[in-house]
Structure 1
Amino acid sequence: MTAAARLPLDRSSSLDEVRAVVADWVEATVPQAWRAAAPRGRAAIRAVRSRADYEAWYPAFADSGLVVATWPVAYGGLDLSAEQARAAEAVLAPYNLGRLNPLGLNSAAPALFAHGTEEQRLRFLPPLVRNEERWCQLLSEPGAGSDLASLATRAVRDGDEWVLTGQKVWTTWAHVSEFAICLVRTDPTAPKRKGLSYLIVDLHAPGVEVRALRHIGGEVDFNEVFLDEVRVPDAWRIGAVGDGWRVAGSTLAGERQMVSGSGSGGVDRIGGAGVDRLLERAAELGRTGDPALRQRLMRVYSEERIRRWTNDRVRATIRAGGTAGAASSIGKVHQGQLNQAIQLLAADLLGPGATGWEAEQ
């Protein structure tokens, strides 16, 4: 990220300044056709913006610092507070500027922040943010799914390198990734959770074979990954030897946060983009005088704020080198229940209109 491309914001910027600077950036940087389509919704944006178009434009988004606004500047962010980042995100929201490389941002990055070295963070985080190097996670194995600690993929030390042999499965997006975070067994004599280590694997290295697992329609999301004496430098080990289970906790905490809202349809779900949109719709429909409805609206509003603050706390803890602990698991359950409450409330609020959609969709 160049200093010229990075937005002139820092923690001293007021929320109004953040909104104004981001709005100016949108006007100057987001293509006019995308901006013109935004008032008509996500489907209209998709009609004028291909995946290839978005990927080609994405480095401009990353270079602004807005992709990871709360991250330190050295790693591709703006070092903004959570409140400032939310103000920026509110300006960006209508344009559906999704983050690419989600497993990198939500699985690899937390482990690097909490347990990686400064050299590792400077090497891997900036290109991750720019989507120049995509990431996946090599965790599950044919004999180690829910009981992940029983994994059999082994790594043997050879000087300044590790030699990896084994098989991983159900690896999302391995076929389009450059790097993976990989949990391996480095001490077969230790208790199963004590003999694990965490490595960064170059998926284009000799000995790596990725085999696609195709859906019935031919699409590919999952893969098998075979490791045949793959060499990994010890400098790419995250955390101490034998401490891989604890390091993996940072990845799994990030993954729980990432998937906690899945299945709710995002901005295409009933009622729009969430609680704030439900409040607007209730006012538009003249329903704010209904005491029972108001109580339900305020309940989901409060729960949504609690979830947001919990997420902020978990992210701050991980960036400071700590672990999320039970907060990530509790948060995943809480978010799932909140999503259900929002959807039920939206259906009750909109009535028969909840089953409709725009013709262009």
Structure 2
Amino acid sequence: MSAPTRAVGAAPRPAEPGAAAPGEPVAPAVPGRRRPLRARLRRDWPLLLMTAPAALLLLVFHYLPALGNVIAFQDYNPFVGDGPLDAFLQSEWIGFGNFEVLFSDPAFWDAVRNTLAITGFQLVFFFPLPIGLAILLNSVVSPRVRTFVQSVVYLPHFFSWVLVVTFFVQMLGGAGLLAQQLRQAGREPWDIMTNPDTFIVLVTAETVWKDAGWAAIVFLAALSAIDPHLYEAAAADGAGRWRRLWHITLPGLRPVIVLLLIMRLGDALSVGFEQFILQREAVGRQAAEVLDTFVYYQAIVPQQWGLGAAAGLFKAAVGLVLILVANHAAHRLGEQGVYSK
């Protein structure tokens, strides 16, 4: 087929800036030169349109409320003035007074210790479980069996914490199924749901049952990105199942593991609110008081808004420091982390 020809006498169309003339080789892009903003907007407008709702939600529910952290340095009174803006402007500025009250409260440090202990315990006994579950699910040959198992382990994620705690009470409580079976066998029931010494194990077991299957989704996606020819080549070279797991599967999962571990460390002071407030009265404040429940009982209930904002700002500062330190450690180990250098 012959190339289309231009009509005789028609003026040639002007070439785009940087475009090569017909018959000339295309010049390579000049490093460091960016296209004009209008050209980039014209090129990327579908992507910008798709991300606009998410960006709007992020702006409205995260960045704008972050401006309210100013009340951590005020004796904030929401009833001063004619509206929220007047309350911000007219509330008394007390500097670091809220932080002094917060840091001098022994109950605050008890809540911080409980929170960090639960986070560390779950990092050891919960964080690896979704990885192993994803590897097991990925090794299932039958698609029907894999789909069925995935549906079963995903389902508890959609249960509320009220339903999860109720389920554990019915199974492990003083009048639950396990206690009834032990009484019928002539044995004394175990104190599980109201024992402060084993509360950390209980809440970790609840978290595993509820979220382990859902957390495995990310690792399943990472496993699907590993080239299957690597396994075939390793098997042809005589590598067994464990060697393939150690030298192919785990290195393929390592970037995702490091990323999620850094994000979990950044959220170390947030272990949940509803799960703990539902069981706080059963085991006592000394075992179940975490930072979120402390803020509720010591700041929101007595309407000490500045104290609650100071506790939230403390959580954010600690999380930021942990993310920076963990990300730097990931770079030192050769991983990309949350962001590159």
TM-score tier, shorter chain, comes to under 0.3
More helix by share: 2
Higher strand share: 1
TM-score (norm 1): 0.22
TM-score, normalising length: structure 2: 0.23
Higher relative contact order (CA 8 A, sep 6+): 2
